[in-house]
Structure 1
Amino acid sequence: MDKAHLVNARSVFDRIENKDVFSLVLMLCGYSRSGQVSNAKAIFDSMPEKNLTSWNAMMAAYAKNGYMDEAELLFQEMPFHDAVSCNTLIAAHSQRGNLDTANEIFDDMLFKTLPCWNAMLSAYATGWHLVQARQTFHSMPARNLISWTLFLNALIMEDDLQMTRSVLAKCPAGICLPRDLVAYTVMESAYAQKGELERAEAIFNSMPQRDLVAWNAMIRGLLPTRPSRASKVSL
């Protein structure tokens, strides 16, 4: 949200006589997205009653703007947590390379939901920690398409195509359907992210069918260095 829109939003907000939690959280998030953490905290402190959504919103405001000490302190002050609470801290720490801290938060969780497992798997998979990603993936009590895609991407980033195919073959049909399209898209996207555009485009061109995810992955890969080629792909 840019400054002008934020000023307008605040003007409307100030005219609301009986502000509920929803309007307060919306204003808090607006300040958070604009990096105005002190104003977000002022809104949070003004709340007569705080629910889990408002606690999570304030913690996310701290975490996303780099105030990790404040985010952790607020996390400890929260009356209770949910998956969003834990995922926010895990993601924020992993994005800053603090994987040990992210893992400590994950290990301290009494009840680990599937989104929490996926957040920890993502932290390892996107941080080039394949051994830990593998251990996390195999320890998961349940997996969804996000879990499988994260792990497959980690294998691709390590150029382990044989293991990628082996793992993909074990993906339940109810999750990875159609399996061939998932395989193509995962490999195409991973090669594009690595900058190996010729290999990504070769996989894209060999797809027996393409969905919106495959098209978008190819366009995203080409845009930074080959915008003219990306425009042709999008036609």
Structure 2
Amino acid sequence: MHGLYKQAKLQAVTRAAFTSIRFFLSQATFMRSHRDSYDYTYLLQHCIGTKSIKQVHAQIIIGGFEQNPFVATKLVGKYTECSDSNMVDARKVFDCLWDRDVFMWNMVIQGYANLGPFVEALNVYVAMRGSGVSANRYTYPFVLKACGAMKDRRKGQVIHGQVVKSGFDSDVFVGNALVAFYAKCQEVETSRRVFDGIPQKDIVTWNSMISGYTVNGYADEALVLFHAMLKDETIRGPDSATLVGVLPACVQEAATQEGLWIHSYIIKSGMEVDAALGSGLISMYANCGRLKSAQDVFDRISDKNIVVWNAMIRCYGMHGHADEALKMFSELVEIGLRPDSVIFLCLLSTCSHAGKVAKGWELFERMGDYGIEKNDQHYACMVDLLGRAGFLGEAVEFIKTMPVRAGKDVYGALLGACRIHNNIELAEEVAGKLFVMDPDNAGRYIILAKMYEDVGRWEDAATMRKTLGEKKIRKPFGCSSIEVDCVRHTFGVEDESHPFTEQIFDTLERLDRIMEKSQ
């Protein structure tokens, strides 16, 4: 009902806008001599869709206002806003202008940075510099956004150099864009250096760095920075963007306390739980096993998009509630939402762990009905589905008939299935492929070594482990973490890197002595 209401409201607004425009244009015969730039900008303000913009555009040309900077700026902005992700019309208006100020150049650069092609944002920026117009504090963020979208580190660094030469390196607006750019290019340390160099940080500065840490897998650093932001007296408190950025870090680090605090803060502050924030909360509750809390959040989100549904389906799937996950998928389809590749990946994994081979096959076949292209991960899920159920022969045949070349994920799933069902002959064959495809993954060698040990082939097991040493391939160490006074401390096996190592080991020795005396 909510969606139908929004659609009806939009239609009503559109009809009203067209009525206003038709009335104005119908007066063209006797009002033309009295019309000024304000009239056109007023009309453009009320245009909804490209068709109505072009009608007003035609009258602008007839009235001789196409070179008016006020009207042209509004026209370019409106085309950029309503042209269905296409900059063609806006660019035509821009190219016909004789005199362009920095505001006009910025609008076109911004349009390309938002809609693409991103390289055109840089091309227009270069043309602007060549025309003698100097960039301002708004130009650089748009150009850096385009560089970040292309992950073009080299060009972004050139822009950074020009920022410094122009004296905008201490500007918070430009600094925020630099933090976001380097984070998108996975230059997290550089991003942090820029962050530290911004003298007056605003909420966007903190959000950009927290999000940069989270997206690049630095969850612990994201949480530490989040706590530091809460202590900054110049910041009133986290906003929705802050929480959307830090919630995935809570999921990665299993930071339940932070996640619960965030949800409490949302409720107390009266913040709206939209799709982005809601999906983050659902994932957080899913990760700590609170399915009912996740479902409550899901039920309270008024405008659920595909990301929200995916988070809830994943929540049920990861905890073995396959029937609930499949039921939610049916509901999603019934209300008219189009499932994406991520949802099918989640469902296939759910079916695999639940042993629902027939249902998994059915879902795999239905992907084509929604125009979803199967990727390596989907094929890996199907191999895992067949392999876990004991259909190793079928899994091998499935790989042979795949329309794409099987990658390490596919063969990794098959090796795992061989381990479950103790098929050492097939495991040797699959492992041989993986040693070529994924030579630095210690897990492949260890699986085969353990299988050799299970059947008493000690020499072969020793050879596998010796190979690991010779190739200097090391399995990542496990670690533990503890939170003390809102600060998370992480420890690895025999880790002596912590600044309070001596105190920690002294405490452990005293605890050992106490335990010995109590026995």
Same fold (TM over 0.5): yes
Matches within 5 A, 1:46-125: 46=232, 47=235, 51-62=239-250, 64=253, 65-67=255-257, 68-76=259-267, 77=269, 79-125=271-317
CA contact (8 A) 1:124 1:133 kept: yes
Asked whether the equivalents of residues 351 and 385 of structure 2 are also in contact (C-alpha less than 8 Å), the reply is no
| 1:219–1:233 CA contact under 8 A, matched in 2 | no
Q: Does 1:175 align with 2:371?
A: yes
Which residue number corresponds to residue 160 of structure 1? 356
Structure 1 residue aligned with 2:227, among 36, 41, 53? 41
Report the CA distance between 1:118 and its aligned residue: 0.8
Shift of 1:87: 1.2
Matched residue type, 2:403 = Q
Q: Residue 231 of structure 1 corresponds to which residue in structure 2?
A: 435
Counterpart check, 1:135 vs 2:310: no
- How far apart, CA to CA, are the structure 2 residues paired with 1:163 and 1:82? 32
Instruction: Give how far 1:124 is off.
Output: 1.1
Deviation at 1:26, TM superposition (A): 3.5
Aligned residue type for 2:256:
G
TM-score normalized by the length of structure 2? 0.37
2:379 & 2:305 partners in 1: Cα distance? 29
Give the superposition deviation at 1:48: 5.4
Could you list the runs of 5+ residues in structure 1 that have no partner in the other structure? none
The answer to whether the aligner puts 1:206 opposite 2:392 as a matched pair is: no
Q: Which amino acid aligns with 1:209?
A: P
Q: Is the 8 A contact 2:318 2:350 kept in 1?
A: yes
CA drift of 1:117 comes to 0.5
Structure 2 residue runs without a partner (length 5+): 1-186, 420-426, 440-519
Separation of aligned partners in 2, 1:34 and 1:157: 30
Q: Is the 8 A contact 1:219 1:234 kept in 2?
A: no
TM-score normalised by the chain length of structure 1 = 0.74
Q: 2 CA distance for matches of 1:178 and 1:136?
A: 22
Once the 2 structures are TM-superposed, how far is the Cα of residue 215 of structure 1 from its aligned partner? 1.1
Q: Which amino acid aligns with 1:41?
A: H
Could you tell me whether the CA contact under 8 Å between 1:188 and 1:217 is conserved in 2?
no
Pair 199,153 (structure 1): closer, same or farther in 2 beyond 3 Å: farther
Larger mean Cα displacement after TM superposition, 222-231 or 82-91: 222-231
The 1:152–1:7 alpha-carbon spacing in structure 2 relative to 1, beyond 3 Å, is closer
Q: 1:24 aligns with which of 206, 230, 239?
A: 206
Aligned residue type for 1:42? A
Partner residue, 1:14 = 196
Q: 1:131 to 1:175 in 2, by over 3 A?
A: same
Number of equivalent positions? 228
Shift of 1:111: 1.7
Counterpart amino acid of 2:315? A
Q: Which amino acid aligns with 1:84?
A: A
Cα displacement (A) at 1:201? 5.8
| Identity in percent | 15
- Determine if contact 1:44/1:54 at 8 Å carries over to the other structure: no
Q: What amino acid sits opposite 2:199 in the alignment? A: E
Partner of 2:55: none
Q: Secondary structure at the match of 1:173?
A: helix
Query: In the TM superposition, what is the alpha-carbon distance from 1:202 to its structure 2 partner?
Result: 1.1
Q: Distance in 1 between matches of 2:330 and 2:264?
A: 32
Change (3 A) 1:15 1:195: farther
Q: Contact between 1:184 and 1:203, CA under 8 Å: does it hold in 2?
A: no
The residue matched to 1:154 in structure 2 has which SS? Answer: helix
Bigger Cα displacement from structure 2, 19-28 vs 122-131: 19-28
- The structure number with the bigger radius of gyration is 2
How many angstroms does 1:174 deviate by?
A: 4.1
Does the 8 A contact of 2:207 with 2:242 survive in 1? yes
Distance in structure 2 (CA, Å) of the matches to 1:152 and 1:222? 15
In 1: Cα distance, 2:265 partner to 2:302 partner:
19
Alignment partners' CA distance in 2, 1:166 and 1:223: 24
Give per-residue Cα distances to partners, 1:53-110, cap 9 Å, x unaligned: 1232344455542323212212323522322211111111112221111111111222
